[in-house]
């Protein structure tokens, strides 16, 4: 089973690294990081520079396709973009096609989400709907072979859900135990419905900077 | 405020990338990834190759020091190891000295944890105690200016706790909202006390492979 995480310049690091940490432990699988070109590829803040060793052309038919998000997806989610065309070409033969955060917009642009329930970062529901998807306020949405996760950190939950589908709950739980994923956030502010107006305002000001 | 995440070959990716994702949003701060040498540095499974652009010598006195873990720490946690000596040199002038997972063993070898309560990956309590620390079964342990997090994924909780200490709860909650950290693991199996014997056995067999 080949699992390909498809990257592009300005992806959000944890969107990719959450599933990467979980899926590397899936038995009988080969994990690949790929992008349009090999060589150094930077994340959205430009501090993480990854040496990518496989192109999309090297892995045209992965069994499991994973696409992370990033602010940049709003402009990448168009016909002809390399990551969109990779998804479009791969999806018909995948066992699972998945995304984290605004990676869902890239699935959308590739035609994967038309008429499907799906999730994305909470700030991108309207963009998601523009691709014919039904935005669904859930941490992880499974619709047939398409699995979408909510924003950034949700990639960990998405990947554990995926492992349970592929290899069963015991394997998924053993990976959870290995990465000590017993989350205890110091606050309960991880969704718009839970955050105070003051917190939302602080985030908006931070994004403006 | 300079925040340095100290890397070494065979670090565990999420140990570093959790705090990296959170701390990059701390206002008025500069985040640096550093290692003994510049150039490509591989993680513990060898698939993630990061181009590191700063050496430990470039950042001898960070305000915030963060050290991730990895299986390899069991052999790195000795006098004279470059990451241990970097910690030893930096700790006297830090505002915060922190670790994720078995990064705590590196703090321990640098003499930081002697007589202190601290946490690490659940599998490494006895190694932690060998450095004079008091192993404490908590997600995040704050003792003075030393903050330790439990295994792998706990780096996210550790970093949010740290942001709250540095910049207050509103900033920490706004970062939590931005990365949609509203965790909903599909299982409750992230700690030895919560995992079934069958799950523990599956993990042990997986590690043996």
Give me the mean pLDDT over the B116-142 stretch.
98
B105 vs A: CB within 8 A: no
Which chain A residues touch B181 with a CB distance below 8 Å?
A: 152-153, 183, 185, 190
Name the residue with tokens 């998804």: A87
Local confidence band at A42 (pLDDT 50, 70, 90 cut-offs): very high
Scanning chain A, the segments in alpha helix (DSSP H) are: 13-23, 73-76, 82-90, 103-109, 125-129, 154-167, 169-178, 197-208
Confidence of residue B145 (pLDDT cuts 50, 70, 90): very high
Query: Following DSSP, what letter does each residue of A104-117 receive, concatenated?
Result: HHHHHHTTSSTT-E
C-alpha to C-alpha distance for A128 and A113, rounded to whole angstroms: 9
Write down the pLDDT at residue B207: 86
Note whether A180 contacts B: Cβ–Cβ < 8 A: yes
Mean pLDDT of B184-195: 97
Mean pLDDT across A158-166: 98
Q: What is the pLDDT of residue A26?
A: 95
With a cut of 90, say whether residue B128 has pLDDT above it.
Answer: yes
DSSP-derived 3-state class of residue B51: strand
| pLDDT, mean of residues B74-96 | 98
Is the pLDDT at A208 greater than 90? The verdict is no
B101 Cβ neighbours under 8 A, 6+ residues apart? A180, B12, B15, B68, B69, B70, B120, B121, B124, B149, B150, B151, B152, B154, B155
Q: What is this model's ipTM?
A: 0.97
**3-state class (DSSP) for residue A64:** strand
Residue contact A206–B178, C-beta within 8 A:
yes
Render pLDDT for B18-73 as a digit per residue (tens, 0 to 9). Answer: 999 999 999 999 999 999 999 999 999 999 999 999 999 999 999 999 999 999 99
Q: Which helix (H) or strand (E) holds B160?
A: helix B154-167
Predicted confidence (pLDDT) at residue A204 exceeds the cutoff of 90: yes
Cβ of B186 and A157 within 8 Å? Answer: yes
Catalytic (active-site) positions of A: 101
- Interchain contact B174–A (C-beta under 8 A): yes
Q: Give counts: helices (H), strands (E), chain B.
A: 8, 11
Q: Is-above-0.80 flag for pTM?
A: yes
Q: How many Cβ contacts (< 8 angstroms) between chains A and B?
A: 237
Contacting residues of A for B209, CB less than 8 Å apart? 27
CA–CA distance from A12 to each of A15, A48, A125, B84, B141 (Å)? Answer: 6, 10, 18, 30, 28
* Percent of chain B clearing pLDDT 70 (strictly above): 100
**Is some CB atom of chain B closer than 8 A to the CB atom of A158?**
no
Q: Please give, rounded to a whole number of angstroms, the shortest distance from the CA of B132 to a CA of chain A.
A: 23
Which residue of chain B has the CA closest to A163?
B186
Q: Which residues of chain B lie closer than 8 angstroms to A193, CB-CB?
A: none
With residue B200 as reference, give the H or E element that holds it.
Answer: helix B197-208
Is B199's Cβ below 8 Å from some Cβ in A? yes
Residues of chain B with Cβ-Cβ distance to A21 below 8 Å are 12-14, 17, 152-153
User: What does the pLDDT average to over B76-102?
Assistant: 98
Tell me the longest C-alpha to C-alpha distance in chain B: 47
Q: Give me the pLDDT at residue B57, please.
A: 98
CB pair distance less than 8 Å for B189 and A183: no
Give the pLDDT band (50/70/90) at residue A122: very high
Task: Provide the shortest C-alpha distance from residue B41 to chain A (in Å).
Answer: 10
**Which phi and psi (to 5°) does residue A98 adopt?**
-135, 160
- CATH code for the domain defined by A2-184: 3.40.50.880
Measured CA to CA, the distance from residue A199 to residue A177 in angstroms comes to 32
Looking up tokens 């917009």 gives: A105
* 8 Å CB contact of B180 and A122: yes
Q: How confident is the model at residue A207 (pLDDT cuts 50, 70, 90)?
A: confident
pLDDT for residue A201: 96
- Is it the case that residue B209 has pLDDT exceeding 90? no
Contact A172 B183 (CB under 8 A): no
Contacts of A171 in chain B (CB under 8 A): 202
The pLDDT score that the predictor gives to residue A101 is: 98
Q: What is the mean pLDDT of residues B149-156?
A: 98
Q: What does the pLDDT average to over A114-121?
A: 98
Count of beta carbons in the 10 Å neighbourhood of residue A12: 28
What is the model's pLDDT at position B168? 98
**Closest approach of A118 to chain B, Cα-based (Å):** 16
Active centre residues of B (catalytic): 101
| Residue in B with minimal Cα distance to A18 | B14
Q: Please list the residues that pair with A41 across neighbouring strands.
A: A50
Contact B48 A50 (CB under 8 A): yes
**B207: nearest Cα among A107, A125, A113, A177:** A177
In this predicted structure, the answer to whether residue B208 has a pLDDT above a threshold of 90 is no
Task: Give the pLDDT confidence of A80-96 residue by residue, as tens digits.
Answer: 999 999 999 999 999 99
* A187/B169 touch (CB, cutoff 8 Å), yes or no: yes
Q: Is B25 on the interface with A (CB under 8 A)?
A: yes
Taking all residues of chain B, what is their mean pLDDT, rounded to a whole number?
97
- Contact A191/B177, CB-based, under 8 Å? yes
Percent of chain A past pLDDT 70, that is, above it, reads 100
Average pLDDT, integer, range B200-207 = 93
- Express as a percent the part of chain B with pLDDT over 90: 98
Domain boundaries, chain B: 2-183
Give the C-alpha distances (Å, rounded to integers) separating B100 from B11, B35, B37.
Answer: 11, 16, 21
Residue B101 has pLDDT above 90, yes or no: yes
Taking CA atoms, what residue in B is nearest to A70? B179
Q: In this structure, which topology does domain B2-183 adopt according to CATH? A: Rossmann fold (3.40.50)
Name the strand (E) or helix (H) holding B125.
helix B125-129
> Which pLDDT belongs to residue A110?
98
The pLDDT score that the predictor gives to residue B1 is: 97
């Amino acid at each position: 089973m080949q699992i390909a995480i498809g990257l592009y310049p300005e992806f959000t690091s944890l969107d990719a690294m959450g599933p990467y940490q979980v899926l590397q432990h899936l038995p009988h699988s080969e994990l690949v990081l790929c992008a349009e070109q090999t060589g150094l590829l930077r994340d959205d803040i430009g501090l993480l520079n990854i040496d990518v060793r496989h192109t999309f052309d090297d892995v045209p038919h992965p069994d499991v396709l994973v696409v992370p998000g990033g602010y940049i997806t709003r402009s990448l989610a168009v016909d002809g973009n390399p990551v969109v065309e990779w998804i479009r070409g791969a999806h018909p033969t995948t066992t699972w096609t998945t995304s984290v955060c605004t990676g869902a917009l890239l699935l959308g642009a590739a035609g994967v989400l038309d008429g499907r329930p799906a999730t994305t970062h909470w700030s991108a529901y309207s963009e998601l709907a523009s691709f014919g998807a039904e935005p669904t306020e859930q941490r992880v949405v499974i619709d047939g072979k398409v699995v979408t996760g909510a924003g950034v950190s949700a990639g960990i939950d998405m990947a554990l859900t995926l492992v349970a589908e592929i290899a069963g709950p015991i394997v998924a739980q053993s990976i959870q135990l290995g990465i000590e994923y017993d989350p205890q956030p110091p606050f309960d502010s991880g969704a718009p419905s839970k955050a105070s107006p003051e917190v939302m305002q602080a985030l908006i000001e931070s994004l403006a900077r």
